[in-house]
Amino acid sequence: MNTKIRRLKKKNFSNTFIIIFAVVLNIVVSLLMGHWSYSWLPIQASEAAHYVDNLFAFETSIGTFIFLGCTGTMAWILVFNRAPKYDESNGEPLEGNLKLEIIWTIVPLILVLAISTYSTRVNYKLENLGSKIKYDFGAEVPFVEEKKVFDYGPIDVISRQWNWEFVYPNGIHSSELHLPINKRSNFRLITEDVIHSFYVPAFRLKQDIIPGSVITYSLTPTKEGVFRLRDAMFSGAYFSQNQTNVIVEPEDVFNKWIKETVKKEPQNGLNPAGRLYEKRLKNGNRGWATVKPAPDPKVNEVGSEARPHDS
């Protein structure tokens, strides 16, 4: 009898050891995954990127811990609790455990409270979205008083099926978006047809552009380079062509660009969808129906489709 208790104690001890070892291993792996998760994301090129990536890493760590905890337990069960062939007997008939059930209701509740509090703080910190004001579609876009301070702007971001046009405060029109580094730039997001989305992965920012509304938006680029701006809300036939570049420059280079571009004569800007549509017409207009692409925008700065991008 005594030896049996001793053996049970010994077994309990080794079980406790295995559990502690597994939990510690899981914590280590989860922290490593969180650390690794930064490499899955594009370059951090705006003020927001740093916050988003930290939050994502935090969630990756928690997620990894839960995932490995659950699936590790499942793997353990699959190794040690398999029924031998022809054994149809029942397992240990546990019906439940109130304490355990309360724990696994409360712990996730605390976790989601923590995550949502953390993200709410980040939301208030960034405050990219300004106001959204409705206007008569087709009429002139109204002026919007921006409550939050910004350093540069407002730049009008005009989205169409399927090209982008940027209008600077001094009247320059451009097919690419040039921005000064470390300045909070302000935008008026405008669409002339359907819903588009202003999405720059390197900035970690996305904002839909709604027909009949003008939306103000501010962001601070923090890294020099060329980054892709992609329409992220499906906008029809040539949706995947509705992309351009964002060029973040030091302030003096940016100012020089403004000064030189204003002297340039307006000419046809980037419109890859227009070129594809012409090709389609030449090949007999095969395929399913689409609206015609908007005509080439008239811009002072044409930019370049072939420009290599950093992310």
Partner 1 sequence: MTIVNYDPRLVKTKNPYPKGPNDWKRFFSFNTDAKVIGIQYIVTALFFLLIGGLLGMLIRGELITPPSDLFDPTVYNGLYTMHGTIMLFLFLFPILSGLTNLLVPPMIGAPDMAFPKLNALAFWLVPVFSIILLLSFFVPGGPASSGWWSYPPISIQNPLGKVLNGEMLWIIAISLSGISSIIGAVNFVTTIIRMRAPGMGFFKMPIFIWTVLAAQLLQLLGLPALTGGAIMLFFDLTFGTSFFRVEGGGDPVLFQHFFWFYSHPAVYVMVLPVFGIFSELFPVYSRKPLFGYKFVAVASFGITILSLVVWVHHMFYTGTPMWMRNLFMFTTMLIAVPTGVKVFAWIATLWGGNIRLSTPMLFCLGGLFNFIFGGITGVMLATVPVDIHVGNTYFVVAHFHYIIFNTIAFGIFAAIYHWFPKFTGKMFYEGLGKVHFALTFIGATLNWLPLHWAGLLGMPRRVASYDPEFAIWNVLASVGAFILGVASIPFILNMVSSWVRGKPAPPNPWKAIGLEWLLPSPPPHENFEEDIPTVLNEPYCYGLNKPFVEDEQFYIEKSLIKH
Residues 6-45 that bind partner 1 (CB under 8 A): 40-42
Q: Which residues inside 153-182 make contact with partner 1, applying CB under 8 A?
A: none
Query: In this chain, which stretch among 6-14, 28-36, 115-123, 258-266 interacts with partner 1, using CB under 8 A?
Result: 115-123
**Half-sphere exposure for 252 (CA within 13 Å, toward CB):** 0
Q: Which residues inside 262-291 make contact with partner 1, applying CB under 8 A?
A: 276, 280, 286-291
Of residues 114 and 262, the one with the C-beta less far from partner 1: 114
When binding is defined by CB under 8 A, the residue of 30, 44, 207, 271 that contacts partner 1 is 207
Residue count (the chain) = 311
Closest residue by Cα to residue 309 from 241, 229, 239 = 229
The minimum distance between CB 220 and partner 1, in angstroms, equals 15
The minimum distance between CB 64 and partner 1, in angstroms, equals 8
How far is Cα 278 from Cα 268, in angstroms, rounded to an integer? 15
Q: Which residues inside 214-253 make contact with partner 1, applying CB under 8 A?
A: 215, 228, 230-241
| Pairing label, strands 173-174, 196-200 | unpaired
When binding is defined by CB under 8 A, the residue of 1, 2, 3, 105 that contacts partner 1 is 105
294 contacts partner 1 (rule: CB under 8 A): no
Buried/exposed 26-63: b ≥16 CB within 10 Å, e otherwise? beeebeebbeebeeebbebbbbbbebbbebbbbebbee
152 contacts partner 1 (rule: CB under 8 A): no
**How many residues touch partner 1 (CB under 8 A)?**
95
105 class by beta-carbon count within 10 Å (0-12 exposed, 13-18 middle, 19+ buried): exposed
97 contacts partner 1 (rule: CB under 8 A): yes
Site string for partner 1, 63-82 (x = CB under 8 A): x--xx--xx-xx--xx--xx
Residues 198 and 229: beta-carbon distance below 8 Å: yes
Closest residue by Cα to residue 243 from 305, 181, 294 = 305
199 contacts partner 1 (rule: CB under 8 A): yes
Residues 130 and 148: beta-carbon distance below 8 Å: yes
137 contacts partner 1 (rule: CB under 8 A): yes
How far is Cα 220 from Cα 47, in angstroms, rounded to an integer? 6
When binding is defined by CB under 8 A, the residue of 26, 213, 222, 261 that contacts partner 1 is 213
Query: In this chain, which stretch among 150-158, 208-216, 218-226, 298-306 interacts with partner 1, using CB under 8 A?
Result: 208-216
